[in-house]
Structures are given as C-alpha cells and as structure tokens.
C-alpha cells in the first residue's frame, strides 16, 4: 500500500477510536495529530499522538463539533488528511466538503454519498429506486394526521424514527393509536434536541427481528466488496452493547443475498471507503434495509477478526487513491468473533451512566483477545461523552469457543472506581437462550435485568475495599516528601508514564 499522499493525519475524534486511528497511522509510517477538549487533556489518544491541539471546553458543541477549530488544528500542524472516526463529524457532509475545499484529504466517503444516506427518508427513496427491500413505511416526514392514517394502513405495532437520527435517538415503539401522538411528540423533541431536526417518519415494527449489518468496502476505481455480516441484536435503548460475527442464525443463501444488496446500495450512491448497511432480519428469513452508516463502525474489529482484513488500513489505502487489494472471491469467514462494549454504566440501574475516576484499571490478555480502549488508570471517564470505556474483542474457532474465551477475559478484567457493564455480560453468557443464539432486539428487558442482576456481587464488596485502600495509600503518599526523581522532573515523570503497563489479574 502506498500512503505517500499522507505524511500527517489529523484524528478528529477522541477515546478508543482515536487511539485506534493513531496506532493505525503509526503502523504505516504516517504521523498522527490529536485534538482534545479540556476533559481529554490527559487522555490516551493525546499521549500517543505525535502532536496534539487543544480545541476548547468539554462540551462537544464547543470543541469536537466546531468545524473551524478542527480545520485550523489540521492546517496549523501541517496535516494533509483528516480521519473523523465515528460519531462527531464523521457523517457531516458540510464538514467533509470543507476539508476537501481546504486542500486536505477526507478519509471517508464523498460528501454526496454522506448526504444521500444521511437522511433516513432520503436513503429509503434511494434504496427503493435501486430495488433494495425496505421496511414498509413512509419516505416523508409526518404530520399528525398523516401519522394516524399511515400507521393505521401499515398496521400496529409501528416504529417512529427521527429522520436525521442515529444511536437510538428519536426512536419510539407504538403499539396502538392511543399512544401515537404522545410518542410522535417525544420522538420529534428528541430529534430536534439531538440532531437539530424534528422530522419523523414511521415504519412497520418487525417484532422479534434481528439487527444484522453488512460491512462494505469500495474504492475509487469501481470495486465494491462486502465483508459479511455482524449480528448486533443485543441492545439497550436501541443502542448496541454486544455484537458477534457471523450471525448465529443466518443461512448462507441469505448471507449472500444481503451482501449483494449491500454492495448494490453502495454503488447506488457512488460510495468510496468503509461503510455499513444495516438490515432488519425477520423471523421468516426476510430482510429489510434500515440505513447506511457512512463511516467506520464501533464494532468493526469483529469483522477484522473473522476476515483478516484491516479496515482502517483499507480506509487509508482507498483515501490515498489505491484500488482494493482483494476481490469478493478472496474473502472468507474464518471462525467466530464477539465484542462486548464495556461501558461506565450500572446495568442494575437500567444501564444508568456512571462516569468517574478509574482507581484501578487492568485489561485482560490471552490468546485471541483484543482490547480497544481510550483510557488509562488514574484518569476519569468524563460525563460529557459516550460512557464507553473499552471494547473487548475475542475470536474463537467457533461460537462456543469465542464465548467461553470472552467469559474468561471478562472475569480477568479489573476496573475499580466506577460500575461497568461487565456484570451484565457475565450474566448474558450464562443465559441458555443466548448460548443457543436465540435472541432478538428485544432481548434485554427490565425483567431480564432484575432476574439476572438482582444483587451486588462479592466482587463489588471487594472493589469497595480496594477503593478504600487506594484512597488511604494516596493520602499517605501526599504526606511524604517529594522524591529525588520528582524534584528533578525526571524523564520518567515528564513522560507522564502510567501504570496500565500491568495487565491481567
């Protein structure tokens, strides 16, 4: 791969994805520049980058989302490309155009493709025109009376969705006409608050459906391939918490059909780069296009694990003008991979966010275990952003081996100072239905959580004691005179070395 067009890439993001991009650039001899807010001044992506630029206060609307600040950071540090990661500005067509107009390389799809897929209603129109199956519903924003009529024609239950939505925001299930108007008002309000757009559309709710997505890659030379599927049906509040690849229920003929449809969707909008087509899989084997995410997905590592393809490297290569180094016939599924999103959340309190300091942070290791994280011991998980701490990705020769290996890795995690979603995953892996691959997007319920996470564990008591011991130790250290190395400002201290070099139990 020739990356000579790039000497320096600005990473317009934070957290684990920023760390992933920095490391990926370094693997290919490209320097990486980080941007950071006040809340991320000591974050891992800042420490690993070749240079870093402060861009404002913690609120993303005043830092990571400000176009001019990000562009100025790129120009001032001599960057020739910008990688947006996921979230923030990654699917902002206006920003992508500004990057290109500034003479920089945008490591993402063309702005026109982002626009075509950015609005769910416009994307539905495009896919219908391309012959791609979509869930029955509207392609235009709804007025109240239209909503009543169309929902009645489609038949309840229905799903209301913010037209500019994502991440589970602006989505409401409606099971009867009596609940429609209040749900519509709620979805509009959340859409306006989250995306600056209160447009809402309606789809038929496919009950007990599975959320299955297809990873695609396209270059600027007309080549498009798919890298099979990921099953993302384990969700809370319409947001993914666990993913696996391949899906445990997808027949080979359906897999091939979905892959071809995803490639057709990419071709229909002139797509270039890495993207994901999301589908709803019905109990009868039918599938429907939901949306296309015009960026790298959070869960991309499990696709990398089963195909051996480095998706970040592919993004860089395609952005540099290179053709894809492989065709569809070169790709095959090898083994099974799972991903657990470790969040700073309390699953016993309906996954309530729980930001705070990481008094102790030890990541698991072992064969075929990968942890993508953006934190270090001693730092705080900030309240201002998504509460993800890390992604635990594990590969096995088959699904059962992957699950067993992942359970062991979860048991070896040590995080003290905040509650996390790890107890949820340990309970999930003991669920008989889940072990058989029998689940859908409605799997996580308040009843399931109550039945499986009804009391603090002995580990919680143990961790409380560790927190107390750490606090006592830190208090004692404050009373000690400064050491010679601290007084002299040694290279070790100046480098801000951290204790996460210790791994395992």
Query: Is residue 266 very low, low, confident or very high in pLDDT (cuts 50, 70, 90)?
Result: very high
Q: How far is CA 19 from CA 45, 208, 374, 406, in A?
A: 5, 36, 6, 22
Q: Provide the token pair at 287.
A: 């599938």
User: Which residue would you say has higher pLDDT here, 203 or 326?
Assistant: 326
| Other beta carbons less than 10 A from residue 278's beta carbon | 18
Q: Is the pLDDT higher at 143 or at 435?
A: 435
The pLDDT of residue 483 is 39
pLDDT value at position 166? 67
Residue 24: both structure tokens together? 């990926």
Which residue carries 């949820």 as its tokens? 424
Task: Using alpha carbons, select from 390, 414, 411 the residue that is nearest to residue 466.
Answer: 414
Q: Among candidates 345, 351, 339, 363, which has minimal Cα distance to 420?
A: 345
Strand partners, 275: 216
Give the per-residue pLDDT at 248.
97
Cα(161)–Cα(172) distance, rounded to whole angstroms?
7
Options 3.10.150.10, 3.40.50.2300, 3.30.470.10, 3.30.1490.20; CATH for 136-204 is 3.30.1490.20
Domains 8-107 and 109-135+208-334 share a fold: no
Q: Where are the alpha helices (DSSP H) in 235-335?
A: 252-268, 300-307, 311-319
CATH architecture of 338-480: 2-Layer Sandwich (3.30)
- 38-to-35, 66, 70, 72, 321 alpha-carbon distances in Å: 10, 14, 15, 17, 36
For position 491, what pLDDT does the model report?
36
Alpha helices in 43-179 (DSSP H): 44-48, 67-76, 93-101, 111-118, 120-129, 144-154
* Half-sphere exposure for 22 (CA within 13 Å, toward CB): 26
Instruction: Taking residues 466-480, report their average pLDDT.
Output: 53
> What average pLDDT score do residues 235-254 get?
95
In whole angstroms, how large is the CA radius of gyration of the chain?
Answer: 23
User: Is 295 annotated in the active site?
Assistant: yes
Provide the 3-class DSSP secondary structure of residue 243. strand
Q: pLDDT for 412-432, tens place per residue?
A: 999 999 999 999 999 999 999
The residues facing 273 across adjacent strands are 218
Tens-digit pLDDT profile for residues 6-62: 899 999 999 999 999 999 999 999 999 999 999 999 999 999 999 999 999 999 999
Instruction: Kindly list the domain boundaries of the chain, sorted by start residue.
Output: 8-107, 109-135+208-334, 136-204, 338-480
Q: How far apart are CA 244 and CA 233, in angstroms?
A: 9
Domain 8-107 has CATH 1.10.3720.10: no
pLDDT at 501: 29
Among residues 274, 281, 328, the alpha carbon closest in space to that of 298 is found at 274
Identity of the highest mean pLDDT range in 329-333, 455-459, 489-493: 329-333
Handedness of CA 267, 272, 274, 275 (dihedral sign): negative
* Average pLDDT for 168-195: 89
Evaluated on CA atoms 311, 361, 386, 37, the torsion sign reads: negative
**Residue 309 token pair:** 């393809």
Residue 243 confidence (pLDDT) = 98
pLDDT of residue 468: 54
* Sign of CA pseudo-dihedral 417, 386, 61, 86: positive
302-329 per-position pLDDT tens digit: 999 999 999 999 999 999 999 999 999 9
The 3-class SS string of 413-439 reads: CEEECCCCCHHHHHHHCCCHHHHCCCC
Chain CA centroid to CA 254, Å: 25
- Percentage with pLDDT > 70 across the chain: 88
134-138, 153-157, 225-229: least confidently modelled range: 134-138
Neighbours of 77 (CB within 10 A): 18
Q: Could you give the CA distance from residue 440 to residue 173 in angstroms, rounded to a whole number?
A: 15
- Is residue 241 within 8 A of residue 424, CB to CB? The reply is yes
Residue 373 phi, psi (nearest 5): -140, 165
Task: Give Cα 273 to chain centroid, integer Å.
Answer: 17
Residue 461 confidence (pLDDT) = 46
Examine the pLDDT at 198 and tell me if it is beyond 60: yes
User: What average pLDDT does this structure show over 83-101?
Assistant: 97
- Catalytic hit among 295, 348, 370, 399: 295
| No. of helices (H) and no. of strands (E), the chain | 18, 22
Question: What is the number of residues in the chain?
Answer: 505
Report strand pairing: 171-174 vs 158-162.
antiparallel
In this structure, what token pair is assigned to residue 282?
């019905």
- For residue 455, pLDDT beyond 80: no
The whole-angstrom separation of Cα 309 and Cα 190 is 37
State the pLDDT confidence band at 505, using cuts at 50, 70 and 90: very low
For residue 416, the cross-strand partners are 360
Q: Taking Cα atoms as reference points, which of 345, 325, 326, 376 lies closest to residue 444?
A: 345
Task: Please tell me what DSSP assigns to residue 385.
Answer: S
Give the pTM: 0.84
Is domain 109-135+208-334 given the CATH code 3.30.470.20 in the classification?
yes
State residue 472's pLDDT score.
Answer: 52
């Amino acid at each position: 791969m020739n990356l000579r067009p790039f000497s320096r890439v600005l990473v317009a993001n934070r957290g684990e994805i920023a760390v992933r991009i920095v490391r990926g650039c370094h693997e290919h001899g490209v320097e990486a520049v980080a941007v950071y807010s006040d809340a991320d001044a000591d974050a891992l992506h800042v420490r690993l980058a070749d240079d870093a630029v402060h861009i404002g206060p913690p609120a993303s609307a005043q830092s990571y989302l400000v176009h001019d600040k990000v562009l100025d950071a790129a120009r001032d540090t001599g960057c020739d490309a910008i990688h947006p990661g996921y979230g923030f500005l990654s699917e902002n067509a206006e920003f992508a155009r500004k990057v290109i107009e500034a003479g920089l390389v945008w490591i993402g799809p063309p702005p026109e493709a982002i626009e075509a897929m950015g609005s769910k209603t416009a994307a539905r129109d495009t896919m219908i025109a391309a012959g791609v199956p979509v869930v029955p519903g509207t392609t235009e924003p709804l007025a109240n009376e239209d909503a009543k009529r169309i929902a009645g024609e489609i038949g309840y239950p229905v799903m209301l969705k913010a037209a500019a939505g994502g991440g589970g925001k602006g989505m409401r299930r409606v099971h009867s006409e009596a609940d429609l108007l209040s749900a519509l008002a709620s979805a509009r309000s959340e859409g306006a608050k989250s995306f600056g757009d209160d447009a809402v559309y309606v789809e038929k709710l496919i009950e007990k459906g599975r959320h299955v997505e297809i990873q695609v890659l396209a270059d600027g030379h007309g080549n498009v391939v798919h890298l099979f599927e990921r099953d993302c049906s384990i969700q809370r509040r319409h947001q993914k918490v666990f993913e696996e690849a391949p899906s445990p229920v997808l027949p080979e003929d359906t897999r091939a059909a979905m892959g071809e449809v995803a490639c057709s969707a990419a071709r229909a909008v002139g797509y270039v780069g890495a993207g994901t087509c999301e589908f709803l899989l019905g109990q009868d084997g039918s599938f429907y296009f939901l949306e296309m995410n015009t960026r790298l997905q959070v869960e991309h590592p499990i696709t990398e694990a089963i195909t051996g393809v480095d998706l970040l490297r592919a993004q860089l290569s395609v952005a540099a003008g290179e053709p894809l180094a492989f065709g569809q016939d070169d790709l095959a599924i090898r083994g099974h991979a799972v991903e657990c999103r470790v969040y700073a959340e309390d699953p016993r309190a309906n996954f309530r966010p729980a930001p705070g300091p990481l008094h102790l942070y030890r990541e698991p290791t072992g064969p075929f275990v990968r942890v993508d994280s953006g934190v270090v011991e001693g730092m705080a998980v900030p309240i201002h952003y998504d509460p993800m701490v890390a992604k635990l990705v594990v590969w096995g020769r088959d699904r059962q081996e992957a699950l067993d290996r992942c359970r062991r890795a979860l048991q070896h995690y040590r995080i003290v100072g905040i509650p996390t979603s790890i107890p949820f995953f340990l309970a999930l892996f003991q669920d008989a239905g889940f072990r058989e691959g029998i689940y859908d997007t409605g799997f996580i319920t308040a009843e399931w959580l109550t039945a499986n996470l009804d009391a603090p564990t002995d580990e919680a008591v143990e961790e409380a004691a560790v927190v107390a011991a750490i606090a006592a130790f830190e208090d004692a250290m404050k009373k000690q005179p400064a050491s010679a190395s601290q007084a002299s400002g040694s290279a070790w201290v100046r480098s801000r070395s951290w204790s996460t070099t210790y791994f395992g139990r």
